[in-house]
Every structure is written in structure tokens, then in C-alpha cells.
């Protein structure tokens, strides 16, 4: 679920930090509560307040919003301006500075879809044995951006840069399930969809029924539709503020050697992988 624009990533923790002018307290902390540095917390809260404003904010207004004294805000502002995290406008108001933007750019680069997938999938133990794919939707096809191969053999080799008909693949269905049905219908008709195997959807109506089921479940299924003897399960990936999937992750299994218990585990795992990747993208 998208975060509120005015909410920082640590709102729940920072709210419990006493204001600058509060007397120190020796009250015991809960066992799992981290020992925060109040000055750093106040600086972060100040940055959050400035970032949430549509116009540069003065010291008096920031002090009112944060419940701090003007002298405290003034001292923080001088330090943050010196460090490049804030800058002063012509009227003396404070705005986000260039170093904050540089940090944001570094975060965006690190959060690149493929690199984020590679990092998360590499260390994702529940699917270490399975081949996991990352794909995006390109019209009526899926385009494979990345693939993390597992140790088990597969009936089909998924090549980075390769394409498959979206209506046959689990990742394609996972993404199409987030689109308006009329858009899917128009795209499939224009593509002249045909099944790759005898198990694939025979027409648009059957596909739309599968997509409705995928929406309810939170994942999509390719039951020998891409290749005989292979099962695939896919889950959608979302970015900040998106209601339509920006990508999908999928996992492939040999049907004859996979137990029902393992399939259940794999489905839960691919959904968790999609959730983690979505979170990395800000969703």
C-alpha cells in the first residue's frame, strides 16, 4: 500500500522520541526498542517537515509543526544547510538541498528493478533450488528482464531478452490481472491469441476468467501452458503509487516431480518475493 506523502519511513519510531526541550528520562525501554540519538531524530523530522511542504518554510513555522523551540530549529537548520541537506531561499525559508537530491538519486539507482530483483532473488532461500524470472509486459507479450537459475533442471530455458505470449505465462497473467478487462480483451484480439499447448486458454473469455481468479488469489498459474510437463506460478510487482503491475516474478517447476506440499510452499514464496521487490520499489 503506498505510503502517505507526509509520512517518513520511521514515523512510528520517531513519534516516541521526546522533543528537544523535554527533560531526560530514565524510564526503561521495551526490550526491542532501539536506542535512538535524539539530535539525529530531530534532524530527520526537520527534513521530513521541509520535504512535505510545497513552499520553503521558515524557522517559526517549522518550530510550530515540530513542537520544538525556535533556537533548536535554528541550530539544526544551520547544520543541515552547511551539510547541503537544506538550502535557504531568498526570503530565508528552508527547502531541500542538493545533497538530499543526490541521496535520492543514489537510492533510485540502487532500486533499479533488475538490480533489486537480482539482489533479493539471490539471497531468497525458500526458492534457492528453483528458477525465478523477472518479466515486464510488452503488449501481448512478456519480456524477460532477468533470470536467477536454480539447481533443478527445467523443460524450458528462459533467456534474458526473450519473449513469450503473455496469455500463456504465469507472469504475463499476473500482470494482466491488474489491467482493466476491456484493455486485455482488445490487446488479445489484436494479437490473435492462440494456445502454445493443448492446455492453454482457448480464447479471451477463458483467459479473463483465469485473470479474475488470479486477482482473487494474488498469483497466477501456468499449468503446462508454456510447455508440457511444467508448472509456473507468478505474482505481480508494484511500484510506489501504482495500481497496475510494473513487473512480475515467476517460478517454474517440473510438474511430475513436485509434490502438492511443495507447490503450496512455492506459491507462498513467490508471492513473498514479489512483496519484497514491491517494497524495494516503494509500494
Q: What was the pLDDT predicted at 240?
A: 86
Q: What was the pLDDT predicted at 166?
A: 95
pLDDT in tens, the chain (283 residues): 333 333 333 333 344 444 444 444 444 555 556 788 999 999 999 998 988 776 889 999 999 999 999 999 999 999 999 999 999 987 889 998 888 767 765 655 555 888 899 999 988 989 988 889 999 998 999 989 888 888 777 656 667 878 899 999 999 999 999 999 999 999 999 999 999 899 999 899 999 999 999 999 999 999 999 889 889 999 999 998 889 999 999 998 888 888 999 999 999 999 999 999 999 988 8
Torsion of CA 259, 264, 269, 272, to 10 degrees: 170
Tell me the whole-structure pTM to 2 decimals: 0.61
3-state secondary structure 106-135: HHHHHCCHHHHHHHHHHCCHHHCCCEEEEE
Residue 218 and residue 249 in contact, taking contact as beta carbons nearer than 8 Å: no
How far apart CA 184 and CA 187 sit, in angstroms, is 5
**10 Å Cβ neighbour count for 156?**
15
Residue 127 and residue 252 in contact, taking contact as beta carbons nearer than 8 Å: no
Q: What was the pLDDT predicted at 10?
A: 36
Domain 11-108 listed as CATH 2.40.160.100: no
Q: What was the pLDDT predicted at 112?
A: 84
* 121-127 CB contacts, 8 Å cutoff, 24+ apart: 121/146, 121/148, 121/249, 121/273, 122/148, 124/269, 124/273, 124/276, 126/265, 126/269, 126/272, 127/251, 127/266, 127/269, 127/270, 127/273
- Determine the distance from the C-alpha atom of residue 235 to the mean position of all C-alpha atoms in its chain, rounded to a whole number: 12
Q: What was the pLDDT predicted at 30?
A: 52
Q: What was the pLDDT predicted at 173?
A: 97
Query: All 3 cell numbers of residue 180?
Result: 482493466
Q: Where in the chain is the domain with CATH 3.30.450.40?
A: 111-280
Residue 135 and residue 171 in contact, taking contact as beta carbons nearer than 8 Å: yes
Give the angle 163-165-171 at the CA atoms, nearest 5°. Answer: 80
Q: What was the pLDDT predicted at 4?
A: 34
How far apart CA 154 and CA 152 sit, in angstroms, is 7
Q: Where in the chain is the domain with CATH 1.10.10.10?
A: 11-108
The domain 111-280 is placed in CATH, from the list 3.30.590.10, 3.30.450.40, 3.30.110.30, 1.10.1060.10, at 3.30.450.40
Q: What was the pLDDT predicted at 106?
A: 60
Residue 246 and residue 281 in contact, taking contact as beta carbons nearer than 8 Å: yes
Give the angle 225-127-230 at the CA atoms, nearest 5°. Answer: 20
CA distances from 107 to 5, 95, 120 (A): 17, 20, 16
Amino acid at each position: 500500500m503506498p505510503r502517505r506523502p507526509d509520512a517518513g519511513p520511521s514515523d512510528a519510531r520517531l513519534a516516541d522520541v521526546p522533543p528537544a526541550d523535554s527533560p531526560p528520562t530514565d524510564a526503561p525501554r521495551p526490550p526491542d526498542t532501539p536506542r535512538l540519538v535524539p539530535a539525529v531524530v530531530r534532524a530527520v523530522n526537520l527534513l521530513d517537515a521541509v520535504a512535505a511542504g510545497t513552499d520553503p518554510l521558515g524557522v517559526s513555522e517549522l518550530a510550530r509543526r515540530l513542537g520544538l523551540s525556535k533556537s533548536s530549529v535554528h541550530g539544526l537548520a544551520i547544520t543541515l544547510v552547511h551539510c547541503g541537506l537544506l538550502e535557504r531561499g531568498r526570503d530565508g525559508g528552508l527547502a531541500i538541498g542538493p545533497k538530499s537530491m543526490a541521496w535520492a538519486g543514489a537510492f533510485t539507482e540502487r532500486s533499479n528493478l533488475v538490480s533489486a530483483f537480482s539482489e533479493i532473488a539471490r539471497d531468497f532461500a525458500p526458492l534457492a533450488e528453483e528458477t525465478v524470472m523477472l518479466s515486464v509486459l510488452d503488449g501481448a507479450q512478456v519480456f524477460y528482464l532477468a533470470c536467477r537459475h536454480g539447481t533443478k533442471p527445467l523443460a524450458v530455458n528462459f533467456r534474458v531478452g526473450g519473449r513469450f505470449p503473455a496469455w500463456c505465462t504465469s507472469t504475463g497473467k499476473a500482470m494482466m490481472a491488474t489491467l482493466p478487462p476491456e484493455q486485455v480483451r482488445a490487446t488479445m484480439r489484436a494479437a490473435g491469441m492462440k494456445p502454445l499447448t493443448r492446455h492453454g486458454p482457448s480464447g479471451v473469455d477463458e483467459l479473463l476468467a483465469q485473470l479474475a481468479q488470479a486477482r482473487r488469489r494474488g498469483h497466477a498459474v501456468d499449468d503446462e501452458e508454456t510447455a508440457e510437463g511444467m508448472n509456473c506460478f507468478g505474482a505481480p510487482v508494484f511500484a510506489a503509487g501504482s495500481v497496475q503491475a510494473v513487473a512480475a516474478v515467476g517460478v517454474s517447476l517440473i510438474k511430475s516431480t513436485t509434490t502438492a506440499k511443495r507447490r503450496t510452499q512455492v506459491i507462498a514464496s513467490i508471492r513473498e518475493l514479489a512483496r519484497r521487490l514491491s517494497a524495494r520499489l516503494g509500494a
